[in-house]
Amino acid sequence: MKKIILTLALAAVAALSANAQIGVTAGYAQKNFTNGFENEAGLFLGANYNIELVNGIAVAPGVEFAMLNYKKDANNYQKENYLAVPILFNYGIEVADGFKLIPYLGPTISFGISSKAKGGVSWGGITLATDEYDVYETYSDYNKFDILVGGGVALEVMEMVRAFVGYNQGLLNRNNDADGSVIKTSGLNFGVAYLF
């Protein structure tokens, strides 16, 4: 029985691998805050593994690293780094020979790696940089974790390059502070992917 299960599992992996494609992505992302925080923007790098399921429908789990920031001047800025895991379902529509239009949608799990800010906290007339995730340093509780839902559309050329634009809406309150205020995020992203 174990041999049968192992054989079926290996056959399933081989079948999925035969219909899978690896993509390396790079692009620009924007993050907007609902409570009046300054919007952030920056670059992201990532990779995904597009697995065709059935009749042109596919799922693309991936991983992305984003470096976002807002800067007004040397004493007023915020810099954040995120690690995200998108799981995007997509459907390829061939619009011309070698060109495919691919609408996609799905959830993204986002985890903040670091969030440094300067502005609003001073000591002896000097504006201090603070760690936004350190409740004792910032007197607030800024949640690192978020779940976003989004979608977009991509244009694939010759099964080699894919340009895309998308939008994500955060579902969770990033503020865990007792003041009860709500901080949610949303944002546009666009970029290109090189397909292997």
- Report pLDDT digits (tens) over 115-139: 888 775 555 555 556 777 776 555 5
Whole-number Å distance between alpha carbons of 7 and 13: 10
Nearest to 100 by CA among 23, 150, 161: 161
Question: Which tens digits make up the pLDDT trace of 138-176?
Answer: 556 678 999 999 999 999 999 999 999 999 999 999 887
- Where do the domains of the chain lie, and which CATH numbers do they carry? 22-195 (2.40.160.20)
Instruction: Answer for the pair 88, 104: CB distance below 8 angstroms, yes or no.
Output: yes
pTM score, whole prediction: 0.83
Kindly give, in sequence order, each residue whose CB lies less than 8 Å from that of residue 93, ignoring residues fewer than 6 positions away.
56, 100, 101, 102, 103
The three-state secondary structure class of 163 is strand
